Chain A
Amino acid sequence: MQEIWTEKYRPTDLDEVVGQKGIISRLTAIVKSGNIPHFLFTGPAGTGKTTSALALVRKLFGEEKWRDNFQELNASDERGIQIVRTKIKSFARAAPLGGAEFKVIFLDEADSLTSDAQAALRRTMEKYSNTCRFILSCNYSSRIIPPIQSRCSVMRFAPLKQEDIKEYLGRIEKSEDITITDGGFETLMYISQGDLRKAVNILQVAASFTKTVDTDNLYTSSALARPEMISELITLALKGKFGEARERLEDLITQGGLAGEDILGQIHRELFNIPMDDELRVRVLDAVGEADFRLVEGADERIQIEALLARIQLLGTRKDHSF
């Protein structure tokens, strides 16, 4: 039976987590005591934060019962204060089941909570600390308010090394009976940039086309799986095709269901992958930042992003990009 590989091969035991030896040995020692503090797992995407949290809870409560006293939430799904007031609070205050001492909430992408929501979270953490432990996870610990950080043991997940990724992908290669060529490995490293989830995802798509995974089919299949909507949007605007760029934008919003701030976030990330003069890049970056600022202040997200596209068109069609 075919499953999603990121889940199929997600380590269930702390020992199987790759590349975070220091953290894992500390977590293992803490779990043995039967009690845990609040944790803040911080680090880049795909380095094992969620996996470690799940494995930790498994070990803590045992394979049979870990689901009973565990709640996983993603703060990016609901970024406002409401999630703290409702879901988090109602779970935190419920008594643990089956004689457990406490329950565990895993709050992923905690850095996407608004500051109001974080303040409310801090209160909840204090108030229910007898019955509930929090494992917060984020990419940037600087976006977590200091009072929360000070209540947590902070674990910094390092970017994965090549050999760690290789070891992990090797497990999949063996189990799925596929072959990853040397060039294929290199390409996976390059595309994934140390993000193991990304590497596994790309690998699965490529392997759905061919048993022997090499550079070529990795690129082909990852392009198929992910058309470059955002870079097209920017490229069209840069070339002076504002009308078409605006149509793409409308598709992203109406059909793709993306929120304005997410689109800007993607533009920001993609900006560095699109070939253009660096002088121009600086100007565009500045415009993206300004648009993001205005989007927060404004009433209609679409107008702000369209204004950005108009600015990018102007910058792209002007000869001189110097300041």
Chain B
Amino acid sequence: MADSPHEGAYISWTEKYRPGRLDHLTGHINVIRQLRSWASAWKDGKPPKKKALILEGDAGIGKTTAAMALANEFGWDVVELNASDARNLESIRKIVTRGAMSRDITDVDGFSGRSPMKLKMILLDEADNLYERGASVAEGPDVGDRGGKRAIIELIKLTKHPVILIVNNLYGLTSGAGSSLNFTCEKIRFRKLSPASIAKRLRQICESEGVMYTDDVIMAIAERSGGDMRSAVSDLQIISTGKQRIRVVDLDVLGYRDTKENIFKVLEKVFNARSLKASRAALRDMDEDINTLMLWMAENVPVEMGHPADLDRAYAVLSRADVYLGRVRRKQNYKLWSYAKDTIATLPISKHFPQRGGGRYNFPSYLKSMSRTKDSRARLKETARELGKLTHTSIRYQKEDALQRMGLLCLRDPEFASHLLSRTSLGKDHLKLLTRGKLNEKEMRSIIEGAESIRSTSTAPREIGGGLASFINEEEEKDTVKVDIAPEPEEKEEKEKAPHQASLFEF
């Protein structure tokens, strides 16, 4: 893969150093084993039971690289479709009918293989980005991914060639119309790369490029990449371009670095200020957003304030500042910012008792864990909504009181679980969440099959309050379906205030 063109031409290091062989892939030892065992099943020419493989994982950790390397190792040609291609029913079907079903050499398009009987790997990158609802009207009916999931299912059913689907988020692919993919595909999850393994690769690249480096610059890049090898390599390339030696200061050109450095300094200055004047000055010179500052402050107040009385005083300050910020947000009264800032400046006054081990500040974990758990919170809400509908109770009641119990009952009695699923539109992900991952694949599968058989035999309405109610789509804000409208009395809309402030926790 890494055969560079002309000397001196710019070539991206992420491409140049993309491993061409599985053995050169950083980390992912288990993944490589799974990949090989799936691919080996194709070796004798007969397709295995699971003809498709889903690779799931965050951006930049080597999913596409691994797929390409796998094809390389097994001598497969690659037919690639990614998000920039239209992947609607038609274009995928074209692949199915023209190539994937047959194995002879008369194929067209990507399937004009040179040697007969050679397998071609069909690679669908970004398969969780299918726009199932169809393209906008302006784009016309052909460019969307309308029916893309159905087409993928069809493709997998008919293909005589290995198929690999790559996703960041498995649920994006297997939700709704894609649920059967859970059973028909082999799944491999790629874990985040550790900073150490990223650093190792960065060092190799530096050595191969003849760039001198210090350990702290390598570690700094590796740590900030958040497990994303691609971004780490590209960061390395940016700061190394035109240089023979790189140092930590070179990182300044990369925007994100400043944030952390600056915030650290601000925290240090504020917490250690000997006077209100000094802490005000530190805050005045800060070019960080005040909301970001609040996050860091809240995270690190316990680091600086060990005594309960100090901590309470400090939080009283933050709480007060937060109220100002809330009023700024709601009333658009930006004047109040200065009060928030000055209130924060009084933080060091809260400290009456010395604290050992201060000054070691933590990165605010909160936002990260909010975004990490975003999907599972969405599943949780769907579960709560469905069970709420079934039992005539609210989402809140379900979350606070009922879900745990339902999960327990599902664990106690698979029949109960099947029944529950059959009456709702909940699937495997929800079941897994509900039972806290305590069921194995086989158990979940048999529960889901049980639910399907109940559904197919039952004539009972799936949920109470259907009928006319069903035209009001849960997800849709506007009423799009036409029904007979009762004669409308004189329309005189009252002036209503702005909608209720959405919770900050709704991301």
Does chain B have a CB within 8 A of A150? no
Q: Mark each residue of chain A from 255 to 269: 1 if its CB lies under 8 Å from any CB of chain B, else 0.
A: 111111010001000
| Most chain B CB within a 10 A radius of its CB, from A86, A208, A209, A300 | A300
Does chain A have a CB within 8 A of B376? yes
Q: Which of A3, A54, A67, A130 is the one whose CB lies under 8 Å from B461?
A: A67
- Residue contact B395 to A77, C-beta cutoff 8 Å: yes
- Interface secondary structure of B, over-half rule: helix
Does chain A have a CB within 8 A of B342? no
**CB-based nearest B residue for A198:** B401
Does chain A have a CB within 8 A of B315? yes
Of residues 188 through 225 on chain A, the ones whose CB sits less than 8 Å from some CB of chain B are 197, 201, 204-205, 208-209, 221, 224-225
Q: Which of A68, A103, A254, A307 is the one whose CB lies under 8 Å from B377?
A: A254
Knowing A91-B469, A298-B323, the reply to whether A259 touches B393 (Cβ < 8 A) is: no
Of residues 374 through 421 on chain B, the ones whose CB sits less than 8 Å from some CB of chain A are 376-377, 380-381, 384-385, 388, 390-397, 399-402, 404-406, 408-409, 412-413, 415-416, 419-420
- Residue contact B504 to A300, C-beta cutoff 8 Å: yes
**CB-based nearest A residue for B422:** A1
- Residue contact A201 to B505, C-beta cutoff 8 Å: no
A298 to B327: give the CA distance in the assembly, Å. 7
- Residue contact A307 to B413, C-beta cutoff 8 Å: no
Of residues 473 through 499 on chain B, the ones whose CB sits less than 8 Å from some CB of chain A are 477-479, 483-486, 488-489, 494, 496-497, 499
Q: Which of A91, A257, A313 is the one whose CB lies under 8 Å from B399?
A: A257
Does chain A have a CB within 8 A of B468? yes
Total inter-chain residue pairs, C-beta < 8 Å:
238
- The interface-forming segment of A16-24, A34-42, A239-247 is A239-247
- Residue contact B496 to A119, C-beta cutoff 8 Å: yes
Knowing A79-B500, A259-B505, A304-B322, the reply to whether A120 touches B494 (Cβ < 8 A) is: yes
User: Could you tell me the distance in whole angstroms from the C-beta of B34 to the nearest C-beta in chain A?
Assistant: 28
- The interface-forming segment of A108-116, A166-174, A177-185, A275-283 is A108-116
**CB-based nearest B residue for A127:** B489
We find that the number of chain A residues with CB closer than 8 angstroms to chain B is 86
**CB-based nearest A residue for B295:** A300
- Residue contact A109 to B394, C-beta cutoff 8 Å: yes
Does chain B have a CB within 8 A of A2? yes
- Residue contact B494 to A317, C-beta cutoff 8 Å: no
Note all chain B residues with C-beta closer than 8 A to A161: none
Does chain B have a CB within 8 A of A74? yes
Knowing A226-B404, A298-B319, A313-B311, the reply to whether A77 touches B391 (Cβ < 8 A) is: no
Note all chain A residues with C-beta closer than 8 A to B392: 50, 54, 72, 108
A109 to B396: give the CA distance in the assembly, Å. 11
Of residues 274 through 323 on chain A, the ones whose CB sits less than 8 Å from some CB of chain B are 291, 294, 297-304, 306-307, 310-311, 313-314, 317-318
**A and B contact pairs by CB, cutoff 8 A, 28 listed:** A2-B419, A54-B392, A67-B469, A69-B468, A72-B464, A77-B385, A77-B388, A77-B394, A81-B499, A108-B392, A128-B489, A209-B412, A225-B405, A243-B302, A262-B400, A297-B326, A299-B325, A300-B291, A300-B325, A301-B503, A301-B505, A302-B298, A302-B504, A302-B505, A303-B319, A307-B319, A310-B315, A311-B315
